[in-house]
Amino acid sequence: MLFIEATALATIGRTTYRPVDPQVNSFLPKGLQTFHPLQVRLGYPMSDPKLNASIRRSLGLRLGGAALLLCAVFATIAWFNGQARMADAVTELARLEANRLNRSAMPLLDDPQTGAEAWQAALEQLAREGAGDKVAGGRFVLARVFSPDGNALAALEDENFPGINAVREVADADSFKPPTNGDYRVVSRAFGDQSYVGVAIALRDSKNSIRAWLGGAFAVSPAAMQKLRADVLRSVLYVIGGVLLTALAIYPVVSSLVNRVARAGTELLTANLETLQVLGSAIAKRDGDTDAHNYRVAVYAVRLAEAAGLPEQDMPALIKGALLHDVGKLGIRDDVLLKPDKLSESEFEVMKTHVEHGLDITGRARWLHDAMTVVGGHHEKFDGQGYPEGLAGSSIPLSARIFAIADVFDALGSERPYKEPRSLQDALATMSRGRGSHFDPELFDCFTGIAAQLKEQFGSGDGESARQELQRLLAVYFQHDLDTLTGRG
C-alpha cells in the first residue's frame, strides 16, 4: 500500500493527497509497510490483518495459558477444601448416628443402675436398625460403650464388614481416651471404597450429664460417600467454569487494548526507522554524497557481523549506528566539510569533532542510544591511534571495529568529486597495510573472504541493490521489535 500524505487547502476548504516517495515505504520492514502515522489523521484503517491475527493468536494462547494455570491452582485448592469438608461431613454423620443411639438409650442413661447387659442389648438394637445400610448415612461397624471412668460396658462388631480386622487392630491399639475438652473426639479417620471414622462421643442423660462414652468406627454408606465426592467434584467444576468464563469475558476487552497499544507501538517503530533514513539522507546530502553510501556500509557491516558471529540481538544497534555514523557532520561548517582539497591540521581537528556532535545527537533519543557505540567508535584504531578516545584492541566496541572496516572499504571503492573509485584488489591492498594497526586483524581477515562477493552484489550502480538488501535486513533484525508489539517477543 502506498503511503499518502494530506495537505489541507484552506482556500478551497478541501483536502488533496500526494504520494510519498515509494522508497520510504519499501525501506520499512515487512509487516510495517502498511502503516503510517498520517493514516490516523486521515481515518485510514491502521490494522494489518496478519498483525491483528498474530496479536489475537498470541493473546489467546497467553490468556488461555493463564486461565489453565488459574484453573489448576484454584481447582487444587477447591479439591483440598472439598476433601476437608467431606471429612467433616463424614464425622458429622458419625455424630448424628451416635446421637440417635443417645436418644434411644436415654432410659438407660437416666437409670443409674443400668448394667452391661442392658448396654449390650442397646448396641445390638442399634446394629439391627443399621443392617443393610438402612440408615442413610452409614452405621457403626465397631461400637464400644465405656463408663465415665473408662471401664468397658459393652462391645459389638460387624463381622461382615470388609477390613474389620484392621479396624479392630486400630481400635485396640488406641486405648479409650475420653476428650479432655468437650464431648467429642476424632480418634482416627480413613477413606476408601468403604470409608469410616473412628470417634469417641459422650452419651448424656436427660439432665445433660455425661453417663457413658461411645467409642467406635462408623462406616459411611457408599451412597453417602458418593454424594460427598460428587459435591467435591461439582465444586471443582464450578471453579474451573468460573475461571474459563471470566477469561472469555475479558478476552475481547484485553484484545482491543492490546491492538490499540500494538498499533501505537507500530507507528512509533515506523517513525523511528524513518528517522534513521531521514537523518542518514540529510548527512549524505550535506556531505555531497547520496544515500547509496549509507545503504552499502550498513549492508557490508551486517554481512561482516554475520560472518564474525556477532550476536543477533546486537544487529539492530549496528544497523542504526551504520546509518547514522556521520550524523555529527551536520554540525561541521561548510568550509571544512565541503572542502575539495586535503584538510589542514586545524581543519582536521574541526572535522574530528563530528564524532562528539554525533554522540550528542544520538544521545538525545533513547531509541538511538545503542547506536552510540558505532557513532562514537568508528574512527578508533586497533593500535590506539584513533579518535576521539584513543581506544585500542578489544576496548573498542566490537560493532565499531566491524563498521570501521565496512566504512573504509566503501570509501575507497566509491567515486568522489576529488577521486576515482579504487578496484577491489587496490582497496584491499591499501586496507591490508592497516591490518593490526587501523583494523582488527581477525575481523579484517574475515572480511577479505567476503569482500569480492559484497563488491559484486552491492558495490556499483545507484545503490538500489544495497537498499533492497537493507530492507531485507531490517525485516530480519528489527523483527524482534515487531514481535514485542504483537506479544511474540
Rg, C-alpha atoms of the chain: 43
Q: What is the 3-state secondary structure (H, E, C) of 210-277?
A: EEEEEEEEEEECHHHHHHHHHHHHHHHHHHHHHHHHHHHHHHHHHHHHHHHHHHHHHHHHHHHHHHHH
31 conformational bin, left if phi > 0, alpha if psi -120 to 50, beta if neither? left
Q: Are 451 and 423 in contact (CB under 8 A)?
A: no
pTM: 0.55
Query: Cβ atoms within 10 A of the Cβ of 382, count?
Result: 23
- How large a percentage of the chain has pLDDT more than 90? 26
Give the model's pLDDT for residue 187: 54
CA distance 144 to 472: 87
Domain architecture of the chain: domains with CATH: 93-227 (3.30.450), 287-486 (1.10.3210.10)
By residue count, the chain amounts to: 489
CA distance 399 to 62: 36
Q: Are 65 and 192 in contact (CB under 8 A)?
A: no
Confidence of residue 418 (pLDDT cuts 50, 70, 90): low
CA distance 96 to 84: 18
Print burial letters for 363-379: b (CB count within 10 Å at least 16), e (below 16). Answer: eeeebbebbbbbbbbbb
CA distance 470 to 478: 11
CA distance 412 to 459: 11
193's CB contacts (< 8 A; 6+ apart) are: 222
Confidence of residue 52 (pLDDT cuts 50, 70, 90): low
Q: Are 379 and 387 in contact (CB under 8 A)?
A: yes
Assess whether pLDDT exceeds 60 at residue 82.
yes
Residue 101 vs residue 35, higher pLDDT: 101
Query: Cβ atoms within 10 A of the Cβ of 113, count?
Result: 6
* Residue of 216, 215, 220, 164 lying closest to 191 (CA atoms): 220
Strand partners, 190: 196
β 184-190/152-157 pair status:
unpaired
Q: What is the dihedral of CA 313, 319, 322, 326, to 10 degrees?
A: -100
* Nine-digit cell string for 188: 482416627
CA dist 391 → 300, 329, 377, 385, 396 (Å): 23, 21, 8, 8, 6
pLDDT tens-digit readout, 271-314 = 777 777 787 888 777 776 667 888 899 999 999 999 999 999 89
Cell 438402612 appears where? 134
Average pLDDT, rounded, for the chain: 77
Task: Judge residue 229's burial from the number of C-beta atoms within 10 Å of its C-beta, 0-12 exposed, 13-18 middle, 19 or more buried.
Answer: middle
Coil/strand/helix, residue 384 = coil
According to DSSP, residue 332 is labeled S
pLDDT tens-digit readout, 228-283 = 778 888 888 888 888 888 888 888 888 787 777 777 777 777 777 777 778 788 87
Q: Are 478 and 269 in contact (CB under 8 A)?
A: yes
